[in-house]
Amino acid sequence: MKESIPDSYHTGLSIRGSQDEDPPDPQLMRLDNMLLAEGVSGPEKGGGAAAVAAATAAVGVGADNSIEHSDYRAKLSQISQIYHTELEKYEQACNEFTTHVMNLLREQSRTRPISPKEIERMVNIIHRKFSSIQMQLKQSTCEAVMILRSRFLDARRKRRNFSKQATEILNEYFYSHLSNPYPSEEAKEELAKKCAITLSQVSNWFGNKRIRYKKNIGKFQEEANLYAAKTAVTATQAVAAAVHNSQTNSPATPSSGTHERDHWRDHRG
């Protein structure tokens, strides 16, 4: 069961359709402002995708997770698209209905005198009705945006697995310093920067990695050999480059010698 945010769009029209129309309507203004600020609505054309991106950037501000960003952006864009589609539909329907009514009135005018005033009144009523519908659409969209926003905000509290590349970098460091996998503060910062995660995340990762590696070395041997081989390649290349006179000495197999007997029992600061 995946619950997205499909509901609360084109839903019923029975939420109050009266009492709020002509006056400055602070409520409507608020909705409009929010939709505008969020990138939905706005200078129409193109669905305001750029505006969506800008709003997303404004929301995401301090975060460093680009995955959630794109997620949020995609959903917001979807909302925006639906909003514009519906809005256009309503407008079209309004026009069609208006012309239809006009035609009816015109036909009736042959058997009954109809004043321009009456026609105008009719059109006004129709427009009012549709504008009220549009406001409901705005409200629904606003609601959806708020739901999305709240979900985005508290989604940041939830755990996110690191990217494949990040774990790659971390593992590379870990296994190439297997004899003493305690990166210094600077090294941590470097890793954090490379992996696009925070310093404490790096510390957490190494803490978890150390304890879990030690707890079940067998489970990690494959991984260890993999990264050992990986670094061995670069190391071999470096050596080969330095020693431009290779030896006929066959280097003992990639040595599955992953036997660090004493597992960093003590550490120094």
Partner DNA sequence: TTCGATGATTTACG
Partner DNA sequence: CGTAAATCATCGAA
Site residues (CB under 7 A) for DNA, limited to 172-211? 182, 185, 200-201, 203-208, 210-211
**Who contacts 240 (Cβ-Cβ below 8 Å, separation ≥6)?**
246
Phi, psi dihedral angles at 148 (to 5 degrees): -60, -45
| Nearest CA among 170, 140, 146 for reference residue 15 | 140
**Stretch near DNA under the rule CB under 7 A, chosen from 10-18, 72-80, 92-100, 159-167:** 159-167
The C-alpha torsion from 68 through 71 and 75 to 76, rounded to 10°, is: 50
Least gap, CB of 230 to DNA (angstroms): 16
CA separation (Å) from 204 to 89, 157, 183, 269? 52, 16, 12, 17
Of the pair 216, 245, the CB lying nearest DNA is at 216
**Stretch near DNA under the rule CB under 7 A, chosen from 47-55, 82-90, 212-220, 250-258:** 212-220
Chosen residue from 219, 235, 255, 256 binding DNA by CB under 7 A: 219
Of the pair 211, 243, the CB lying nearest DNA is at 211
Number of residues that bind DNA (CB under 7 A): 26
Least gap, CB of 174 to DNA (angstroms): 11
Least gap, CB of 205 to DNA (angstroms): 5
Contact 145, 35 (CB under 8 A): yes
Least gap, CB of 219 to DNA (angstroms): 6
Of the pair 204, 255, the CB lying nearest DNA is at 204
Q: Amino acid identity of 122?
A: M
**Who contacts 44 (Cβ-Cβ below 8 Å, separation ≥6)?**
84
Least gap, CB of 234 to DNA (angstroms): 23
Buried-exposed string 70-91: b where 16+ CB fall within 10 A, e elsewhere: ebbbebbbbbbebbbebbeebe
Site residues (CB under 7 A) for DNA, limited to 69-98? none
- Residues near DNA (CB under 7 A): 155, 158-162, 167, 182, 185, 200-201, 203-208, 210-212, 214-215, 219, 264, 267, 269
